[in-house]
Structure 1
């Protein structure tokens, strides 16, 4: 159920997208052994992005949002973030300013996540996995 949204410039090849998505998926699955990891790529042309109020003033800095259950282990979060950011850096090399990619991690208690027709706090398998992640 973890979801990653990537806001980035247009211009990378299909091969680069596939490689990036595979590497990001692996990084998220290592941190969250929960099914249904999704990655959403939203691409923008430079004239549709303002940075510090200036349109097309510099290469776009990608922005990512991770929407996932709570995860308290900083080392696991750090490793996942490093792998996600590294995959984005490789894919967007020369196209975006990946030195300043921002990854915001929004973590939710299971009672604030509905999936597959029920709250995840009512799903014993997910409750068990998330409890083990946060011991």
Structure 2
């Protein structure tokens, strides 16, 4: 159920996009071991992105958002972030300023996540899986 959103410039090649999506999925799956990782790519033309109030002043700096359950291990988050950064850098080489990609992690307790008509905190399998992950 982890959701990952990428805000980045247009122009990525289809094969680079596929590889990036696979690598990001693998990084998130390695950290969480939770199925149903979804990635949402939102692309913008450079003339629709302002940085410090200036349009097209510099290459676009991608920004990413991870919406997922709590993950207590800073090492797991650090490793995941590094692998995501590497995947985005490879895919957007020459198209964006990937040295300054921002990855924001919004991590939620299970009582703040509903899925399929019930709270995740009411799903014993999910509670057990997350408890084992956050030992």
Normalised by the length of structure 2, the TM-score is 0.99
Please give the alpha-carbon distance, in whole angstroms, between the structure 2 residues aligned to 1:34 and 1:119.
16
Q: Give the length in aligned residue pairs.
A: 135
1:88 matched residue in structure 2: 88
Give me the TM-score of the superposition, normalised by structure 1: 0.99
Question: Which stretch of structure 1 is more off in the superposition, 56-65 or 111-120?
Answer: 111-120
**Structure 1 unmatched runs, 5+:** none
Does residue 40 of the first structure (1) align with residue 40 of the second (2)? yes
Structure 1 outlier segments of 4+, above 4 Å: none
Q: CA deviation at 1:125?
A: 1.1
**Could you tell me how far apart the structure 2 residues matched to 1:31 and 1:117 are?**
26
> What is the CA RMSD across the aligned residues, in angstroms?
0.5
Equivalent residue number for residue 5 of structure 2: 5
Distance in 1 (CA, whole Å) between partners of 2:118 and 2:112 is: 11
Shift of 1:129: 1.1
